Amino acid sequence: MKLGAKVMEHSPIHVRPVSRLMVVLVLLLVVVVSLLGWSPTAARPALPTTPMLTTGAVQPPASTTPIQHIVIMDKENRTFDNYFGTFPGANGTTTYTGTDGLRHTLNHQPDHLSGDISHSHPDFINAIDNGKMDKFSQILGAIQNGVDEADSQLYQEDLPKYWKYAQNFTLTDNFYSSVQGASFANHLWSIAAEADDVDGVPKCTLPCRLAQRWGCDSVASTLVEERHADGTIDKVFPCFNFPTLGDSLDAAGLSWKYYTPDYNKPGYIWSSYDAIDHIRNGPDWQTNIVNYANFLQDAQNGTLPAVSWLVQPTSVSDHAPQSVCAGENWTVQQINAIMNNPTLWPNTAIILTWDDFGGFYDHVLPPPGPNGQIMYGLRVPGIVISPYSKSTLVHGVNHVMYSFSSMLKMVEDNWTLPPLTDMDGTANSLMLTQDFRQTPLPPLPLNKRVCPRTPGPAPAPDAGDGD
């Protein structure tokens, strides 16, 4: 099922009486449409032909809250239990069910692994094992140096800065990745509240696989899997044309930027707008898709746009087998740039999350989504950082259900923008993590830490679906 825009109800109006024949014809039409099926994608809003932001055709709407800037930081491949399973008051666990049906203590994960763990849609289905949640150890790459790293977790001392953010701002423990699979689809959800039923990553045969190009810049032979709600599967070129939040912001005259590595080398795998044809081949590509290194300067100068997405190089993404400490230090550096700017911190909200399960264990079976074939994925950590966040120390862990659509819903609520699909239209907004009546929280700049050096054998080979 391809999910489209929410159809709004209109106020009743008076019409002239109609003939009995006309009523019969209308009822017949309704029956025919019901029998044939109807895709709500037909109700998607039309794409703006001219970005109004550049023409000055509209006055940007005022925000409905003190928040003037929202930053979405999309990191890689962690479940809630993997990072916060031991967090007090959270729905976490320190044990897992093994293939023997018994409970075992989750292994203590080192700062960096020796290889990636596969995390494709089939890996997800096999690992959750019809709700038994007992076959993570069977995922390719799970066993490293004789240890089951799929069934492992990190502790507070391994993630002291992330825990500081979780304690002092809002930690959510019911935040689900949108798709049961790897990065590509979930990153698309972060910009559009849909992914055209994609459940995998773009693939082609060697040597093009080495180029790691995802999106409209993929080589011609590249295909990505779409798994629809009726169980049918398509393989399509990974270049789409559905509306995005960037289009909504353009139409409203609001500024936005997508900060990404290799912005001038099209095809970087986590640069989601590269997969949107009218963005990749339109004027926004030259003005709104920028080098990730510019984020620090823009934050320090107080020139962040209304909405920012920030993705990072693999080395600091938290993606296995990279150092978690190095990824945390990089995240701290970006957030410090906002917190240390007295003109920016008072009106900025940061959404810090991770894109998919990465092959790691989580004990909560996700609820079914509208496309029951691929939705929802496992829980991922979600932390909302702003002066108005409901501090976990005061309010406890936030247990409301969220998904990637909730991030877009927060933006739409803040500037009264229309929803893109039913998913963001009906999602619980991350605005629920905010309290604008409270005394604003002070900034919490943190120091980077010295990362551990873990000696070990040569890195294991790539697990096969490690993005």
Encode burial over 338-351: b for 16+ CB neighbours within 10 A, e otherwise.
Answer: bbebeebbebbbbb
Q: What is the pLDDT of residue 290?
A: 95
**What average pLDDT does range 247-270 have in this prediction?**
89
Encoded tokens for 43: 């109700």
User: Stretch 149-172: mean pLDDT, rounded?
Assistant: 98
Position 141 scores a pLDDT of 97
Confidence at residue 44, expressed as pLDDT on a 0 to 100 scale: 52
Mean pLDDT, rounded, of the chain:
87
Percent of the chain with pLDDT over 90: 78
Place of tokens 């239990």: 81
CA distance 462 to 119: 12
What is the pLDDT at residue 455? 47
pLDDT at 208: 73
By 3-state DSSP, what share of the chain in percent is helix, strand and coil, each rounded to 5? 30, 15, 55
Alpha helices in 105-258 (DSSP H): 121-128, 160-168, 183-192, 245-252
pTM reported for the whole predicted model? 0.87
Residue 49 has pLDDT above 60, yes or no: no
Residue whose structure tokens are 């698309």? 188
Is the CATH number of domain 66-90+157-433 3.40.720.10? yes
Contact 154, 83 (CB under 8 A): yes
- CB of 360 closer than 8 Å to CB of 156: no
pLDDT at 205: 77
Q: Which amino acid is at 292?
A: Y
- Burial of 364 (C-beta count, 10 Å sphere; 0-12/13-18/19+): middle
Where are the chain's structural domains? 66-90+157-433
Predicted pLDDT of residue 213 = 81
> pLDDT by residue (tens digit) across 8-39?
323 333 333 334 443 334 334 333 333 333 23
